[in-house]
Structure 1
């Protein structure tokens, strides 16, 4: 049976953060718990988990800024990769974004991460040749 895709709840947070660490998608300058807390303040229903009988085996965090949607923190458990969990999470995130009236979605991939690029290529995402810039406003 496939995992159930649902919005995360408070009891999931430790499992989510653990999965993100296992998947290697956290960064020392971002506190994942603060990212979850900040996200919950504006779009709690867009932090999705793949729940397989109480075990969190995948996550994605979606956001919509009124112009475009964003995907963050897509991860699946290392022992469950290749089962379609990531695709199911992206599909549900996209459906929820469409329901909000979101016309497009994008995400950032770190340079050299060809496996991730290949995953999104297969889902119909287009690669853009753009530069990104940013500024930390609140240190973690």
Structure 2
């Protein structure tokens, strides 16, 4: 049985390696900074699963007091096809639900068509909104 738990200090390097192996990192996003920021407050976290001491899956989640958001869902390529991605999403949903959050949004890079079907199978739909962003700090 796979159990997700909150990330610990000893997991950080392994989680970054996992995210890199899954192609989730980008040169302009520092994964160490993302993990640190998620762990800094009570409104966000990184959840991990492990098998025999090895981090096999992750999901970063948090909320703004209104909506939850899901990031960095990753499954070690050697452990794919075992339902870990689904369990990671459900673990994040559970974490948010326990905090009173009733809706979750997720961001998928537009070039990542292969994962769209995965999320649709879990009941996620494309919202008729435009997501805009602007960096406000250097």
Q: 1:44 to 1:6 in 2, by over 3 A?
A: farther
Cα deviations by residue, 1:35-74 (Å, 9 ceiling, x for unpaired): 1111111148731001111100110000011110000000
Matches within 5 A, 1:1-140: 2-43=1-42, 46-139=45-138
Distance 2:109 2:76 in 1: 20
- Unaligned 5+ runs, structure 1: none
Preserved CA contact (<8 Å) 2:44 2:60: no
- Count residues with an aligned counterpart: 138
4+ residue runs over 3 A deviation: none
Post-superposition offset of 1:78: 0.7
- Unaligned 5+ runs, structure 2: none
Where 1:46 maps in the other structure, the secondary structure is strand
Where 2:21 maps in the other structure, the secondary structure is helix
Q: Give the TM-score normalised by the residue count of structure 2.
A: 0.93
Identify the range of structure 1 (24-33 vs 38-47) with the bigger mean alpha-carbon deviation. 38-47
RMSD: 1.4
Preserved CA contact (<8 Å) 2:68 2:103: yes
